């Protein structure tokens, strides 16, 4: 599609909300307005596309939202969009509004929906990676990851106070359904004793050994960060596995699940900047005639890859960082 063919675009957020999504919406709306495009906001992601909740957005509609968590367009995980009937209805609504292209802000589920839709219909999509999990290929970081890690580190700092005062062993679970990025960065940033992620095999005996060794060396408390998606059932699963160890049991093991706290709150400066760059970049990609790609930031350079690659290629935490985390915890 040529630049001259794009006159009206729609923007929406879908899947789990992530801090910085509002900054991305703002960047899309303002960059489009600057280029004399009409912008429409779709409420609740693919759900709103199916039900026709599509409204015109002006430059001023995105004033004063940069600092707000969540998403002003709201979000949903749509089951109906997985069906051909749902996608047909969505297409009809986009056509009724003369939408020429869409900007989809979200994670792998959002990109999968966009990829399937773009194979069936002639409306191009640009994906903007927004998820706290940081598990999207084609970008070093996703919108919301930095804020989520900062929130998790702040929580672990507080837990350490209690762990220290009571000589306790804490298993702290952070989000990441299939991804250990939040866990790894939180562990490094909070100086945790150990980190357990889905991407690396866990040897329970090694973990017990580390905890016993720490105790023998006079370390009176330990904090272990566990990714939600860990194969042994998150922090509760790991805690149950070491229950029988008398020495460690004397440290009164406790489980804390930080949960959705990590999804909310005002975005960090890094997330605001990343979201602004990716939102701005997404509209420029459309104007350059790009279709069905995901925008990303790699080595501080704006880049893009196909939506297909973004969802099918895996992105896992660098082994070097995993190794470093355990070296720094000795
Ligand atoms: O994908 C982001 C994420 O926060 C995951 O880390 C988590 O497993 C999931 O969403 C939770 O989703 P929901 O809020 O729908 O339960």
3-state secondary structure the chain: CCHHHCCEEEEEECCCCCCCHHHHHHHHHHHHHHCCCEEEEECCCHHHHHHCCEEEECHHHHCCCCCCCCCCCCCCCCCHHHCHHHHHHHHHHHHHCCCCEEEEEECHHHHHHHHHHHHHCCCCEEEEEECCCCCCCCCCCCECHHHHHHHHHHHHHHHHHHHHHHCCEEEEEECCCCCCHHHHHHHHHHCCCEEECCCCCCCHHHHHHHHHHHHHCCCCCEEEEEECCCCCCHHHHHHHHHCCCHHHHCCCCEEEECHHHHHCCCCCHHHHHHHHHHHHHHHHHHHCCCCCEEEEEECCEEEEEEHHHHHHCCCCCCHHHHHHHHHHCC
Regarding the beta carbon of 175 and ligand 1, being less than 6 Å apart is answered: yes
Among protein residues, the one whose CA lies closest to atom 10 of ligand 1: 16
Regarding the beta carbon of 16 and ligand 1, being less than 6 Å apart is answered: yes
The list of the chain residues with pLDDT below 50 reads none
- Most informative mutation of 14, 45, 133 for ligand 1 (most atoms within 8 A of CB): 133
CA nearest to 256, candidates 214, 221, 220, 225: 225
Among protein residues, the one whose CA lies closest to atom 11 of ligand 1: 16
Regarding the beta carbon of 131 and ligand 1, being less than 6 Å apart is answered: yes
pLDDT the model gives residue 247: 81
Among protein residues, the one whose CA lies closest to atom 16 of ligand 1: 16
Among protein residues, the one whose CA lies closest to atom 6 of ligand 1: 176
Do 272 and 286 touch, CB atoms closer than 8 A? no
Same fold, 3-144+267-312 and 145-263: yes
User: What's the residue count for the chain?
Assistant: 330
Query: 223 pairs with which residues across the strands?
Result: 170
Regarding the beta carbon of 176 and ligand 1, being less than 6 Å apart is answered: yes
Q: What are the tens digits of pLDDT across the range 43-70?
A: 999 999 999 999 999 999 999 999 999 9
What residue spans define the domains of the chain? 3-144+267-312, 145-263
Joined tokens for residue 176: 């990441």
Among protein residues, the one whose CA lies closest to atom 8 of ligand 1: 177
Catalytic residue annotation = 133
Regarding the beta carbon of 107 and ligand 1, being less than 6 Å apart is answered: yes
Regarding the beta carbon of 228 and ligand 1, being less than 6 Å apart is answered: yes
Regarding the beta carbon of 183 and ligand 1, being less than 6 Å apart is answered: no
Residues 248, 243: Cα–Cα separation, whole Å = 8
Backbone phi and psi for residue 305, each to the nearest 5 degrees, phi listed first? -140, 165
CATH 3.40.50.460 holds for 145-263: yes
The pTM of this model reads 0.97
pLDDT the model gives residue 2: 62
pLDDT the model gives residue 297: 98
- Most informative mutation of 142, 148, 175 for ligand 1 (most atoms within 8 A of CB): 175
107 CA closest ligand 1 atom index:
1
Query: Which overall architecture, per CATH, does domain 3-144+267-312 show?
Result: 3-Layer(aba) Sandwich (3.40)
CA of 128 to the centre of ligand 1 (A): 18
Residues 311, 317: Cα–Cα separation, whole Å = 16
CA nearest to 194, candidates 170, 218, 178, 175: 170
């Amino acid at each position: 599609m040529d630049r001259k063919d794009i006159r009206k675009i729609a923007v929406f957020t879908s899947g789990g909300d992530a801090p910085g999504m509002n900054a991305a919406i703002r960047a899309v709306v303002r960059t489009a307005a600057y280029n004399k495009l009409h912008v429409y906001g779709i409420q609740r992601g693919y759900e709103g596309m199916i039900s026709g909740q599509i409204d015109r957005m002006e430059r001023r509609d995105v004033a004063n939202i940069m600092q707000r968590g969540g998403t002003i367009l709201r979000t949903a995980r749509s089951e109906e969009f997985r069906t051909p009937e749902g996608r047909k209805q969505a297409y009809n609504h986009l056509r009724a509004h003369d939408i020429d292209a869409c900007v989809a802000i979200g994670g792998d589920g959002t990109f999968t929906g966009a990829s399937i839709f773009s194979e069936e219909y002639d409306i191009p999509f640009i994906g903007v990676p927004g998820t706290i999990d940081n598990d999207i290929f084609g970008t070093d970081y996703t919108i919301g990851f930095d804020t989520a890690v900062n929130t998790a580190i702040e929580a672990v700092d507080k837990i350490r106070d209690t762990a220290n005062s009571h000589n306790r062993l804490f298993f702290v679970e952070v989000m990441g359904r299939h991804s250990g990025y939040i866990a790894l960065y939180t562990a490094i940033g909070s100086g945790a004793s150990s980190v357990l992620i889905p991407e690396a095999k866990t040897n329970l005996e090694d973990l017990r050994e580390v905890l016993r060794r720490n105790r023998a060396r006079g370390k009176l408390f330990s904090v272990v960060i566990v990714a939600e998606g860990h194969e042994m059932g998150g922090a509760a699963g790991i805690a149950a596995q070491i229950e029988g160890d008398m020495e460690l049991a004397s440290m009164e093991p406790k489980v804390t699940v930080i949960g959705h706290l990590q999804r909310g709150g005002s975005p960090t400066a890094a997330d605001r900047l990343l979201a602004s760059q990716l939102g701005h970049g997404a509209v420029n990609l459309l104007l350059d005639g790009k279709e069905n790609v995901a925008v990303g930031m790699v080595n501080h350079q704006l880049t893009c890859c196909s939506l297909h690659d973004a969802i099918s290629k895996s992105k896992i935490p660098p082994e070097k960082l995993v190794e470093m985390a355990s070296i720094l915890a000795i």
